[in-house]
Amino acid sequence: MVVAPVPDFSKMMIGAGGHAQYGGQARNRGYYRTADEAWSNFTVYGGAGVTVPLANTSKYLTPNFDIQAGVGYRFGPHFELPVEFDWDQFGVTKGSLDNQIGIYDYLISDNAVKYLLDGNSHIWSFSLQPTYTFYSGPRVGAYVKAGVGFYHKVANFTLPGETVECYYYCGIYETNYNLDHYTSNAPGYDAGFGLTYKFSPDSRARFYAEARYVFIDNDQRYGITNTPASLATVTDSTTNFYPANSNRTEYIPITVGVRF
């Protein structure tokens, strides 16, 4: 009579690491990622802050606000590659406004825009922002980033006016209209440093604060300035009365927000 051997069930016990073992070999049970784990491969962030012009740019633009949003792929705990959108708003210095008042008064009539002219400028951009996290503690982290992208620079000079709007009834409303408008497209480069703070040790949400240096390689264009020699060259075909908008641009946006 032949008696069948009793299986050694000890070899089929669950071993360290969570794998079923048979005959001393590990068998992977398969791994199903949760929605949160799947999203961990992506980075999403948004914030706002202040933008400060530097060097020559500070001679014709003044500080204002910035808005930032980005989304991209995270290759691991240290490196991510987001595409970022930035809007940087600026005011215009009194010196720049006085210069434009002199030009427009020369072109239109004396004192036509004096005390009325206002101006603003903004830059919007799309850039690729490789980001490296060189420190990641339980709560605090630190990263560096450097980017390259497309930058669109705009300047507007406005005068107050009135507009009539009719809904249930008609009314006259104060508004501003553009007297003059300029744009400049150019590649831009930036580099910066940031800090993060987790809301809780197991949270993906992090508060962040960063500062970047931005340089835009605008192509300088000839234009009219408020000097007798320059104004004497104005012709019917002259269109550029604000050559500063095509100056190379430097500024620092300081942004705070939330990253996931």
Domain ranges of the chain: 42-259
Q: Among 3.40.50.300, 2.20.28.120, 2.40.160.20, 2.120.10.30, name the CATH number for the domain at 42-259.
A: 2.40.160.20
Q: What global pTM score does this model have?
A: 0.81
* Positive or negative torsion for Cα 20, 22, 24, 26: negative
Give every CB contact of residue 259 below 8 A, 6+ residues apart in sequence. Answer: 43, 44, 45, 196, 205, 206, 207, 208
In angstroms, the CA 218 to CA 121 distance is 15
* DSSP state, residue 6: P
Output the tens digit of pLDDT for each of the chain's 260 residues: 555 565 555 554 444 444 444 444 444 444 444 444 555 789 999 999 999 999 999 999 999 999 999 999 999 989 999 999 999 999 999 999 999 999 999 998 878 788 899 999 999 999 999 999 999 999 999 999 999 999 999 999 999 875 666 766 666 666 778 899 999 999 999 999 999 999 888 888 999 999 999 999 999 999 999 999 999 999 988 999 999 999 999 999 999 999 99
CA gyration radius, the chain? 30
